[in-house]
Amino acid sequence: MSATLHAAPFVEFFGGSDKVALLNVPGRQHAVQVYYTPSPEPDFLDAATVAVLQLHVSRPPGDVLLFLPGQEDIDGLQRILEEKQELLAKKRQETPEQQVFEKTAGGAPVYGLLASHAWPCFGKVDGILIRPIYAALPFDQQELVFEPTPPGFRKIVLATNIAETSITIPGIRYVIDTGFMKLKLCNPATGVEMLRTVETSQASASQRAGRAGREAPGEVFRLYVESEFHKMPAQTPPEILRCEMASVYMDLKALGIKKVIDFPLVDRPPREALEKAAHFLCRIDALDRSDVLTDLGRKLAMMPVHPLYAYCLLTSFEFECTAEILSIVAMLSAESQFFVTSKKQREKSVATPKVLQHEDGDHLSLLSAYTQWKKNQNPKAFARENSLNHQALEKAATIRGQLKDLVQQAWGASQISSCGGPKNWVVVRRCLLKGFFTQTARRDDVNQNSYQTLLSRQVAKLHPSSVLHRRQPPPACVVYSELVTTTKSYLRVVTEVDPAWLPELCPQFFGAALTASG
């Protein structure tokens, strides 16, 4: 079963079932048996651990695909399974005739069908080969999931919903579904993005189950009770209903749409999300007060990046640091993790990422990493030695090349200026402030670990991944690329700026009073 179009909104959009004929072509797959837990599981990570190990020692040969919400869950479970693998190897060597019991696999059986199983001896239990796959994982490591499983092993693939559609991993006979996924949502009123762990939809659960029947009959173990499946939403909300709308709004304006709010979309975004997008575009002078695209707006619309990034790129001509801003915008637009974060991968690295980190912030750290990677004679080896994601950097380099061509062709730039290297990167920080003026925040005078965004008045902390996170005292003022909410609100990709620059560079938005406490 592959990705299937949710047809109902399209039927409705084109006039309803009276005017539209819906042709349903069923896909083919092998038989898949679905099992549910007899009672709710309080901790899906514990339940997943137990299910993997019990399945491994009790079921016929075949690889396992386990769906988890995010990278943190995958890293945590991988460490646990590696410890269990060492224990199994030790037992195979020391007590090969000893029978495996439920308690050895980690606890009481999740599924009744495993409770009465005749457990084998340790000597007959294969090893396990753990293969993670998620979007931020370097491509060469993602490819490992497709390699044949060696004899004497069972491959356990730990995946996010990246493995739900589009790819087929050979050898998968069993799927374990935790029933959760990470979903990026945008509050239409505030514009704050939230990364939430939410329950999957019924459509996603069916897609996951289908992975077990692509090559042969398979089994699916859902780590939730059957009644919960029927309570799940039928479909995952379309991205247009949960994303920030500035890019869509400006693109429609560039196409000549006079009233974006009335434009007929298959899934209509919340009105307040469109109004917030229009307000943002007015702030950067891409729209006038009559909701008409300005000359600047038409110029920004020529760039296939978020309007804020295009605005910052245009601002770079004033500061003569276009080469540097091109690199930063390309890396931000790639939406990839450039610094390797998994503990196992960091241990393999010869050098520490701190060599590439810039003390003034994350934008400059990205610029430092890209610049040094690009000029190295063996960039792949350099990436490996410095805990960098080589494929993500290659993607950024491609985006940068495309943006550079557009800047020269569409904007008519005769040359790409540079500020001249790290010693002059204060110019880049000033450019970032003027280009990202809508994304500025000041440190709270009382709670110095908190920041308040200057225009939207949102309270947040610096994200733990930031190079500024442990700075004492924290920077008085920062620009940021993202304001996201998980369990707390965080500013992500942040760089220090001088509060005195606010009224100097953006006097129409920031008065001199803002610098009084700086």
How many CB atoms neighbour CB 314 within 10 A? 19
Round to whole Å and give the CA distance between 312 and 46.
Answer: 46
**pLDDT per position as a tens digit, 58-76:** 889 999 999 999 888 999 9
CA dist 223 and 35 (Å) reads 9
Domain boundaries, the chain: 29-237, 311-405, 436-515
Find, among 170, 58, 37, the residue nearest to 120 by Cα: 58
Per residue in 198-246, pLDDT tens?
Answer: 899 999 999 999 999 989 999 999 999 999 999 999 988 888 888 889 9
Cα–Cα distances in angstroms (integers) from residue 503 to residues 337, 360, 507, in the given order = 34, 21, 4
Rounded to an integer, what distance in angstroms lies between the CA atom of residue 221 and that of residue 32?
A: 10
pLDDT of 327 higher than 60: yes
Distance CA 515, CA 518 (A): 5
Q: What is the structure's pLDDT at 186?
A: 80
Distance CA 126, CA 484 (A): 43
Residue with the two structure tokens 């947040």: 460
Distance in angstroms (rounded) separating the CA atoms of residues 443 and 447:
8
Superfamily of domain 29-237 in the CATH hierarchy: P-loop containing nucleotide triphosphate hydrolases (3.40.50.300)
Q: What are phi and psi of 316, to 5 degrees?
A: -65, -25
- pLDDT, tens digit, 9 for 90 and up, residues 27-44: 778 899 999 999 999 999
pLDDT value, residue 104: 40
- The predicted-structure confidence for 117-153, as pLDDT tens digits, reads as follows 567 788 888 889 999 998 878 788 889 999 999 999 9
- The amino acid occupying position 132 is P
Mean pLDDT of the region 41-61: 91
